[in-house]
């Protein structure tokens, strides 16, 4: 029996007599199969569901039901049977362990791949079969895939899992398989619904990359990251070079090509770096200076663009300072580029319709109100900042509800010499300096209204003349491809990541690869990894997954809503309004009530868009155009009827309250361009990928950080947190309040004074809304006070001695507060992992320099080597903080740039490492005796004569770093040559013994006599005898005595400090003697070395890869405002980790972690690079 609302084309009615009996039977059977299939998949049942809840939907379905009760005799042709057919191969291919990679056909520029050959090789090793369709266009060649073990073939029919980047052609879909690609169907985009229908019809299980998320955080896991920002920024540098040339100026920008012209991102960055060197050396024409850049938003796209900009000589400033620079009120030079990052508060302001209280809102309240009530705001960028902008880099989310960043009329005002912007432009010289826009978001006719259409990578720019007078009168015809034309340069490529196909593919493949083995073996949806399962738009047998049934509901609504078209009205905005209604519109029947009221008001409506909530607790949004025309005998005009209707609808919506999910109604004037189907579809396609970025902007409440400890490392931590909230990469608009706690309140107060802003702008900075660092001095001696501080904090930074970290961590677990420390993970700290996870917090450890930057840079190097097919046979990672060579002017060749006690303790630890396949163990008492000279001259720094000793236990890093094939693995510490011999001698003398107590009220001469069983009268002889008996050579013994004399320990007048141990007393003496003097600075040296072979390329020589970091401290780091290299390289990464925790980039709930996951170390390395902290990598052929 057929259901009462079966569509006519599925009814098994008698066929015309022209059909043969056999054909009639075939058609009947196929028709009934189609009915059963459609019912099973929910494509017909939804009509009945709609009828039960909607009066208008019910009316529609009643008509269909009435039609079904009458004899319907459709005339079938042979071609018609296609729509009745259900596809089934008879064999379910899901989970058969065979992966197919399709040839990309979406665009000639689509050269990206979902899996690189490196990851294909790993999948083949795991026993999976990989098929790759041949392509001459793909960034990785067919031969590379063959070498990785894939089969290159056009026939993907053996594959049960087929993957691509962009949409697969619907006619090429194979039935009963899993497909993975960006489908652009989750919003029921009309242009892709035929594809979805075919997917359902062919029993395809569709997984959309856009929906692969961490179920706990809803954070996207598989995406192309910052690559649009990288490419958009590089392209606009090329663009302004051509624009400047068209205006008569030759500049170094001409030497930069479009992004796609480079082999990879690294090569593109090299070109930008060379550009920067040229600007730094020669400068830019004075007529173009100062060159100012404005970046909108601070999501991934903007951060990528800013990362490229940071390769140039630049200075980040506030929006207010940028205006002063452009006006000449603040000194500027032609060898520096000036930039600022703007957020919501910088680009909009309340309009005349806004309630008075809106104008008093600040911070989070202001942002929240704006997103909920955009109709109460107007654009402000065009008259506040645009007159002082040279290059606008637009990366901010926008949709039709919000004011445009730059409208066509704004641009006309900016271009008229007698317009409202004339005075401001005269101040900044905008008339003589070109203006350019890189519209990376590329919303056609959107936030940049004069973006008239997307461009292609090979022809990315056009010139728009706002004052042009085209013959057609259309603004889009005031466009030219001539760079010498008048107007603004616009870059509008909408497929920017495809310009970096290799890097983008590697990034994407890294994210996708961890899931692929399980996906390829998943026989059912339930077998998929949880992160992928939530992205299955269709399930087994091709049915829509429950989470995506909103697609069906939206399609039904759009196809069934009664609409009266009035094309003659659309041209007159006064006779039309657009309403956006948001709430639980279906469950409450609110949408039908609103539509009925519109009709009762003698008006018509048109549904422009429906965005159905994806879950029960999510709201639905409907965009409705209300329109009308003059009617004879009507006492009211159309405008009055529409205005009255809208007011009554607003009251109706407010009256529904919680029943309809506290619905909201926004009203807009109708704009044919703004609300065209193309514009709506374009904005919606971008919306899902930017929701998280918008969510970050909304929360403007202050974040509180407590720092325990007031030592050398604290200054860089506080300074970075201040700067990160004032602009630049990683900037956040939320203020940060910092509490500094130490057992010595005086030390905390002194640090507060050192980092507090000074100078003429200090008061303004402290009162500003961008960054309000409130620094307190609070004693941490009282546990109750510590608990209160931790309880009130969003993050805790522990920079106290290492033995106290676990105690602070326990407080953080108890108070559910995230924590950061630069120290190694101790056994006590590791034991808190499960408790931290249960408490929902993350404790980030080892984010200094060693450990910290060494981990992150090593992992990045190792990953690059593996991607190139290399196998690492030997790995060394050595790091050391030292005085600069010119300051190493004492017998030890050492001065303290960090905790003296920490230095001595590090020299007493046992060490273990792997050497030529053998495990080598060194006891702490013999550590200094195991020193190995570093090669001379030292690579990259011939003035350094160094030696190194092993650092703790290197064996765990073989697994942590993924060095399974390495026969040598060592992590070590650098010192100047000769240092280790002296420390070995001091150890043999018992001076570095933390267990023995010193003599009371004794001199150091008496203490040494006691330790050597000699007397103060023959101390040198006693020391020599003691050391040589212990195995120390006579030359080393003599050097040790000379060093002890220089320290004053041979004198009876040098007292031993009252300390818990001999080592603490000796530490106090060393600290007093080995201090940096004014004008001196330190140096930090880090070196990774990997010997690499290529087993898959017989005959290829081995290579030695080096990754080096050499950083000097500031000249005024003693007694001045400068920082030591050690303090900076420990403090800055610690602050970066704290900032990433505060912003959610490092999520809570991960327990005790090190920076060894790509999701942690990649953003940290990116932020470090922006601070000028980056390793230099080299490679040389060995044999």
User: Catalytic positions, please?
Assistant: 850
- How is residue 1150 written in tokens? 């991960």
Residue with tokens 């702490």: 924
Kind and range of the H or E run holding 1130? helix 1125-1142
Beta bridge partners of 1082: 883
In this structure, the strands spanning 871-883 and 968-976 are parallel
CB 139 within 8 A of CB 499: no
Sign of CA dihedral 440, 444, 447, 450: positive
| Rounded Cα–Cα distance for residues 933 and 974 (Å) | 9
User: Which of 38, 40, 62 shows the shortest CA–CA distance to 52?
Assistant: 62
Ramachandran assignment for 657, one of left (phi > 0), alpha (psi -120 to 50 degrees), beta (any other): left
Burial, 854: exposed, middle or buried (Cβ in 10 Å; 0-12, 13-18, 19+)? Answer: buried
User: Which of 160, 154, 196, 158 shows the shortest CA–CA distance to 177?
Assistant: 160
| Rounded Cα–Cα distance for residues 37 and 34 (Å) | 5
In three-state secondary structure terms, 566 is coil
Burial, 157: exposed, middle or buried (Cβ in 10 Å; 0-12, 13-18, 19+)? Answer: middle
Instruction: Name the DSSP letter for residue 532.
Output: H
How far from the centroid of its chain's Cα atoms is residue 158's Cα?
37
* Residue 798 φ/ψ, nearest 5 degrees: -105, 110
Q: How far is the CA of 873 from the CAs of 147, 870, 972, 1095, in angstroms?
A: 22, 9, 18, 11
| Other beta carbons within 10 Å of 394 | 28
How far from the centroid of its chain's Cα atoms is residue 1078's Cα?
41
The residues, ordered by sequence, that sit 6+ positions from 36 with a Cβ below 8 Å of its Cβ are none
Helices (H), 391-498: 408-415, 422-428
CB 543 within 8 A of CB 200: yes
In three-state secondary structure terms, 273 is helix
| Rounded Cα–Cα distance for residues 181 and 191 (Å) | 16
CB 452 within 8 A of CB 445: yes
| Rounded Cα–Cα distance for residues 664 and 1009 (Å) | 86
In three-state secondary structure terms, 982 is helix
Instruction: Name the DSSP letter for residue 215.
Output: T
Kindly state the greatest CA–CA separation across the chain: 130
The residues, ordered by sequence, that sit 6+ positions from 718 with a Cβ below 8 Å of its Cβ are 707, 738, 740, 751, 755, 773, 775, 1135
CB 466 within 8 A of CB 407: no
In this structure, the strands spanning 932-933 and 946-950 are antiparallel
The residues, ordered by sequence, that sit 6+ positions from 1179 with a Cβ below 8 Å of its Cβ are 1103, 1104, 1105, 1106
Per DSSP, the residues of 168-201 read PPGGGPPSS-EEES----TT--GGGHHHHHHHHH
State the first-to-last Cα distance of the chain, in angstroms, to the nearest integer: 80
């Amino acid at each position: 029996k057929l259901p009462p609302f079966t569509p006519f084309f599925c009814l098994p009615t008698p066929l015309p007599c022209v059909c043969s009996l056999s054909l009639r039977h075939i058609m009947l059977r196929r028709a009934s199969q189609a009915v059963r299939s459609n019912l099973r998949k929910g494509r017909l049942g939804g009509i009945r569901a709609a009828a039960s809840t909607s009066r208008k939907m019910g009316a529609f379905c009643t008509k269909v039901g009435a039609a079904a009760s009458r004899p319907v005799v459709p005339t079938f042709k042979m071609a018609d049977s296609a729509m009745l057919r259900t596809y089934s191969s008879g064999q379910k291919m899901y989970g058969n362990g065979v992966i197919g990679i399709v040839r990309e056909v979406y665009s000639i520029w689509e050269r990206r791949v979902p899996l690189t050959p490196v990851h294909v090789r790993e999948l083949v090793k795991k026993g999976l079969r990989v098929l790759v369709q041949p392509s001459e266009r793909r960034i990785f060649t067919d031969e590379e895939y063959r070498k990785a073990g894939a089969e290159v073939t056009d026939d993907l029919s053996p594959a049960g899992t087929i993957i691509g980047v962009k949409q697969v052609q619907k006619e090429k879909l194979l039935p009963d398989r899993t497909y993975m690609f960006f489908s652009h169907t989750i919003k029921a985009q009309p242009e892709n619904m035929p594809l979805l229908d075919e997917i359902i019809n062919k029993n395809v299980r569709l997984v959309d990359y856009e929906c692969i998320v961490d179920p706990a955080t809803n954070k996207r896991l598989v995406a192309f990251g910052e690559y649009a920002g990288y490419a958009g920024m590089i392209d606009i540098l090329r663009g302004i070079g051509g624009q400047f040339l068209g205006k008569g100026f030759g500049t170094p920008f001409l030497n930069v090509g479009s992004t796609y012209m480079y082999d990879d991102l690294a090569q593109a960055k090299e070109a930008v770096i060379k550009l920067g060197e040229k600007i730094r050396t020669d400068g830019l024409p004075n007529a173009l200076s100062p060159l100012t850049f404005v970046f909108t938003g601070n999501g991934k796209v903007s951060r990528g663009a800013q990362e490229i900009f940071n390769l140039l000589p630049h200075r980040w400033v506030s929006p207010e300072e940028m205006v002063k620079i452009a006006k000449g009120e603040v000194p500027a030079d032609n060898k520096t580029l000036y930039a600022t990052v703007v957020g919501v508060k910088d680009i909009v302001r309340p309009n005349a319709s806004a309630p008075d209280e809106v104008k008093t809102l600040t911070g989070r309240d202001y942002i929240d109100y704006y997103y909920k009530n955009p109709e109460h705001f107007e654009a402000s960028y065009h008259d506040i900042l645009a007159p002082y902008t040279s290059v606008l880099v637009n990366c901010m989310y926008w949709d039709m509800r919000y004011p445009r960043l730059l409208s066509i009329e704004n641009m006309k005002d900016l271009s008229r010499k007698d317009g409202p912007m004339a005075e401001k432009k005269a101040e900044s010289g905008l008339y003589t300096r070109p203006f350019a826009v890189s519209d990376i978001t590329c919303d056609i006719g959107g936030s940049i209204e004069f973006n008239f259409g997307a461009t292609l990578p090979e022809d990315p720019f056009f010139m728009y003349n706002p004052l042009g007078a085209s013959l057609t009168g259309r603004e889009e015809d005031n466009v030219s491809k001539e760079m010498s034309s008048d107007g603004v340069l616009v870059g509008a490529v909408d497929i920017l990541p495809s310009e970096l196909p290799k890097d983008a593919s590697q990034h994407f493949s890294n994210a996708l690869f961890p899931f692929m083995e399980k996906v390829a073996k998943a026989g059912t949806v339930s077998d998929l990894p949880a992160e992928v399962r939530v992205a299955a738009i269709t399930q087994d047998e091709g049915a829509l997954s429950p989470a995506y049934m909103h697609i069906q509901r939206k399609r039904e609504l759009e196809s069934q809503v009664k609409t009266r078209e009035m094309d003659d009205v659309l041209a007159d905005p006064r006779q039309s309004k657009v309403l956006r209604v948001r709430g639980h519109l279906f469950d409450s029947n609110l949408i039908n009530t609103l539509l009925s009221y519109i009709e009762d008001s003698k008006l018509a409506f048109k549904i422009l868009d429906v965005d159905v909530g994806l879950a029960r607790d999510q709201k639905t949004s409907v965009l409705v155009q209300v329109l009308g025309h003059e009617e004879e005998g009507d006492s009211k005009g159309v405008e009055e009827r529409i205005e009255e209707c809208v007011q009554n609808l607003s009251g109706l919506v407010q009256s529904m309250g919680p029943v309809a999910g506290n619905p909201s109604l926004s009203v807009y004037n109708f704009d044919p361009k703004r609300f065209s189907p193309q514009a709506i579809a374009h904005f919606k396609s971008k919306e899902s990928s930017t929701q998280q970025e918008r969510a970050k902007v909304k929360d403007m409440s202050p974040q509180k950080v407590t720092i325990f400890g007031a030592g050398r490392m604290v200054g860089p931590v506080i300074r970075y947190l201040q700067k990160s909230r004032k602009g630049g990469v990683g900037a956040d608009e939320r203020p940060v309040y910092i509490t500094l706690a130490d057992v010595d309140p005086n030390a905390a107060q002194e640090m507060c004074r050192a980092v507090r802003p000074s100078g003429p702008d200090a008061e303004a900075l402290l009162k500003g809304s961008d960054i309000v660092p409130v620094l307190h001095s609070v004693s941490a001696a009282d546990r109750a006070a510590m608990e209160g501080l931790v309880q009130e904090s969003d993050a805790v930074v522990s920079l106290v001695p290492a033995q106290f970290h676990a105690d602070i961590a326990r407080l953080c677990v108890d108070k559910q507060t995230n924590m950061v420390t630069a120290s190694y993970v101790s056994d006590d700290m590791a034991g808190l992992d499960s408790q931290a996870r249960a408490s929902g917090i993350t404790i980030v450890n080892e984010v200094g320099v060693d450990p910290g930057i060494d981990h992150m840079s090593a992992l990045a190097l190792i990953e690059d080597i593996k991607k190139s097919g290399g196998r690492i046979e030997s790995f060394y990672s050595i790091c050391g903080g030292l005085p600069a060579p010119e300051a190493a002017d004492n017998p030890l060749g050492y001065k303290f740039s960090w905790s003296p006690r920490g230095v001595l303790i590090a020299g007493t630890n046992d060490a273990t490492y792997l050497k030529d396949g053998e495990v080598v163990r060194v006891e702490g008492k013999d550590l200094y005796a195991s020193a190995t000279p570093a090669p001379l001259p030292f690579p990259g720094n011939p003035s350094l004569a160094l030696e190194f000793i092993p650092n703790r236990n290197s064996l765990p890093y073989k697994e942590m770093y993924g060095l399974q094939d390495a026969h040598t693995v060592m992590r070590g510490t650098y010192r100047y040559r000769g240092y280790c011999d002296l420390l070995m001698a001091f150890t043999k003398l018992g001076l570095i013994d933390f267990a023995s107590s010193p003599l009371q009220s004794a001199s150091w001469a008496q203490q040494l006599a006691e330790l050597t069983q000699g007397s103060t009268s023959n101390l040198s002889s006693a020391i020599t005898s003691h050391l040589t008996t212990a195995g120390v050579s006579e030359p080393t013994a003599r050097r040790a005595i000379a060093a002890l004399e220089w320290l004053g320990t041979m004198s009876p007048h040098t007292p031993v400090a009252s300390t818990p141990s001999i080592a603490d007393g000796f530490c106090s003496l060393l600290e007093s003697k080995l201090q940096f003097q004014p004008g001196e600075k330190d140096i930090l040296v880090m070196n990774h070395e990997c010997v690499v072979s290529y087993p898959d390329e017989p005959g290829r020589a081995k290579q030695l890869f080096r990754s080096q970091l050499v950083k000097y401290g500031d000249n005024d780091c003693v007694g001045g405002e400068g920082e030591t290299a050690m303090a900076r390289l420990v403090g800055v990464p610690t602050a970066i980790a704290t900032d990433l925790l505060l912003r959610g980039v490092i999520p809570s709930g991960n327990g005790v972690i090190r920076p060894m996951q790509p999701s942690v170390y990649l953003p940290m390395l990116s932020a470090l690079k922006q601070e000028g902290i980056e390793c230099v990598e080299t490679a040389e052929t060995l044999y």
